[in-house]
């Protein structure tokens, strides 16, 4: 479900000065958000390729996820390998290739793995373009705003 970029909710609660300060500090300049804002629903028992560790095309692409429902370790959530976004890819890494899977395994051993577990309205900002991440299957449903 798409959200109008002119929505008062987005401008009052999401696109605020604090978010721009954090993102500008990280990228040291202008940035862009992924695609258009969407509200996503994940359901119990879903199977998809996002459940494999992957990067989104190796671009410096910022993602913001805001939980619209509470999420605990038993629910569907996302894992992100911290500091994995430091690597630059000259071509899109393929999540099924042995070389990429070996790099993922090494990165998981070396760096902390963060999750999107939290109460509703918890926000998570990450580099989905270069950072290794995946959806973790679980029970119940997850509703989140994805920017």
> In angstroms, rounded to a whole number, what is the distance separating the alpha carbons of residues 33 and 130?
14
Strand spans (E) along 9-141: 38-42, 62-67, 77-81, 113-115, 123-127, 133-136
Q: Which two tokens stand for residue 142?
A: 């997850």
pLDDT at 9 over 80: no
Q: What percent of the chain is predicted at pLDDT more than 90? A: 22
CA 128 vs CA 9, 15, 35, 92, 105: distances in Å: 24, 18, 12, 13, 18
pLDDT in tens, 44-82: 777 878 888 998 876 667 788 888 889 999 988 999 999
The structure's pTM equals: 0.76
Are the CB atoms for 115 and 74 separated by under 8 Å?
Answer: no
């Amino acid at each position: 479900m798409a959200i109008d970029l002119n929505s008062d909710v987005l401008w009052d609660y999401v696109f605020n000065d604090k978010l721009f300060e954090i993102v500008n500090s990280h990228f040291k300049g202008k940035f862009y958000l992924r695609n258009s804002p969407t509200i996503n629903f994940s359901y119990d028992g879903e199977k998809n390729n996002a459940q494999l560790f992957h990067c989104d095309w190796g671009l410096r692409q910022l993602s913001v996820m805001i939980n619209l429902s509470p999420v605990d370790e038993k629910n569907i959530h996302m894992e992100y390998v911290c500091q994995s976004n430091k690597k630059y890819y000259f071509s899109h890494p393929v999540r099924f290739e042995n070389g990429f899977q070996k790099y993922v395994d090494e990165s998981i051993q070396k760096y902390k793995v963060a999750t999107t577990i939290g109460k509703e309205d918890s926000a998570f900002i990450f580099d989905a373009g270069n950072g290794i991440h995946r959806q973790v299957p679980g029970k119940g449903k997850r509703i989140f705003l994805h920017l």
